[in-house]
């Protein structure tokens, strides 16, 4: 691994540790650049808790390294409390079953009390 790759991995680890709910996506929640990122961010907004996002189109280094780090090939990627939840299909399935809302609200409650 090159020094640049290592520093990108460090940046990813820092982003994940500093944000209890983090969505790596194409574009932003207000202006998503792909349908999957749009669906994922809409589901997260539907949980009525704040979440952070990283636009991988603005961060090509993260776009290149995150799939290797996460062992997950596609975007968007949702991370909650340092754990990879999954991509669009998993996010949407969890949202429809009410599991995503519980997960996000538990994370928000835990991090407000911390």
47 is in an annotated binding site: no
The yes-or-no verdict on residue 26 having pLDDT over 70 is yes
List pLDDT tens digits, range 44-64: 999 999 999 999 999 999 999
Domains of the chain, by residue range, sit at 3-99
Nearest one of 83, 84, 82 to 74, comparing CA atoms = 84
What mean pLDDT do residues 86-96 have?
A: 98
81 is in an annotated binding site: no
CATH topology of domain 3-99: Glutaredoxin (3.40.30)
Nearest one of 49, 39, 56, 48 to 91, comparing CA atoms = 39
Q: Are 79 and 22 in contact (CB under 8 A)?
A: yes
88 is in an annotated binding site: yes
* pTM of the model as a whole: 0.95
H helices of the chain, in order, are 3-18, 35-45, 60-70, 88-96, 99-113
Q: 46: helix, coil or strand?
A: coil
């Amino acid at each position: 691994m090159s020094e640049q790759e290592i520093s990108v991995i460090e940046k990813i680890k820092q982003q994940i540790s500093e944000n209890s709910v983090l969505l790596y996506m194409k574009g932003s929640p207000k202006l998503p650049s792909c349908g999957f990122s749009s669906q994922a961010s809409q589901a997260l907004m539907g949980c009525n808790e704040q979440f952070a996002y990283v636009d991988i189109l603005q961060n090509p280094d993260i776009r290149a390294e995150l799939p290797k780090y996460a062992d997950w090939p596609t975007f968007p990627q949702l991370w909650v409390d340092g754990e990879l939840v999954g991509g669009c299909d998993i996010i949407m399935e969890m949202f429809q079953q009410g599991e995503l809302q519980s997960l996000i609200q538990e994370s928000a409650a835990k991090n407000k009390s911390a």
